Amino acid sequence: MGMVGYGKSTTLNQLLGYKEVRGGKQVIKQVFAAGSAAKGIKTNMARQFNINPTLLPDGTDLIVSDSEGIGSSANDSVQVADSILELLKNDPATLLIVHRFHRTDMPFVRVLQMLKVCTNISSSNCFLLLTFAQDHDNEVSSFEADPSRFLNELKANHGIDFFDAEHNVMCIDMDSRAVKIPELRTQLLARMPVKASMTYSELVALASNNHSNAGDAVSKLRKELADAESDRGWHEQRIKDLNIAIASTGWIPFVGTISAAGMSIAVASSIDSVKSLNKKIADLSKKAQNGRESQAHYLAKLNEYKAMIQ
């Protein structure tokens, strides 16, 4: 995967190493044409390249996919990310990311951010190939010595932390990249696959649904809380009224005594109800608070995901 025009298809063609004769010269066959957009082919790389059988046993089919370029006028970051993530949901794969060393293209960064939140991507299952051209000699000389400059920018400014200059990053000259192709091929075959749990669009929809459900739950709890507080208020008022009535009638011989006794029972019942309602209100208040925190959490996540495409 990578930006449009940054050498994804050319790199794949060199990785596959198919040869054909043109005009009396042996050249790399163009299995993937520029802009081929997610075509897949199978090749027996173990036999083709005599790879160590512990990495890829002879007879194993390897599926290679050339994803649609990021940043073309016919797509946006979400569409490209979702197409890659859909593939990784069904067929986990090692991810080769091709990019130009001196470019911080935001569409590229957005796709990386989407991959981070939707997959198990790490330095052990992806590889970053940073290419450069000889007409950038001044930039190349400093960058080759310390590729971490670009990686630090990705990490500090955009949260992309799955590239390690010592472990899964390679810088190559576009004009002579074939020299490092065997090393790159070995690096890729030794890596674990990236697995996607869902697409970016599905993640946003899930966060939106969770936020909506949390809001509905909070609304329901608020109604239950209001009803419980209303019931408690009724019982508290009843206790006050009955105590006044008891004081008013208790002095009357015989009748007053019987009436006061009955009202005292009602007071005791309401007191028990208030105690029970206090417990219920405390429980509902705690649940409502947790619900509001969940609602705020899902809203923050939703805003975080949406910010990736802004």
The DSSP result for the chain, as a single string, is -BBTTSSHHHHHHHHHT-EEEETTEEEE--SS-TT--SEEEEE-HHHHHT--TTTS-TT--EEEEEPPPBT-TT--HHHHHHHHHHHHHHS-B-EEEEEETT---HHHHHHHHHHHHHB---TTTEEEEEEE-GGGHHHHHHHHH-THHHHHHHHHHH------TTTSEEEEEGGGGGGGHHHHHHHHHTSPPB-BSS-HHHHHHHHHHHHHHHHHHHHHHHHHHHHHHHHHHHHHHHHHHHHHHHHHHTTSTTHHHHHHHHHHHHHHHHHHHHHHHHHHHHHHHHHHHHHHHHHHHHHHHHHHHHHTT-
What confidence category does residue 142 fall into, taking pLDDT thresholds of 50, 70 and 90?
very low
Give the tens place of pLDDT for each residue, 170-207: 888 766 666 778 888 888 888 889 999 999 999 999 99
pLDDT at 124: 92
pLDDT at 90: 86
pLDDT at 260: 73
More confident residue, 132 or 111: 111
What confidence category does residue 21 fall into, taking pLDDT thresholds of 50, 70 and 90?
low
pLDDT at 38: 43
pLDDT at 45: 55
Average pLDDT, the chain: 82
More confident residue, 204 or 31: 204
- Please report, rounded to a whole number, the percentage of residues in the chain having pLDDT higher than 70: 76
Mean per-residue pLDDT, 198-223? 95
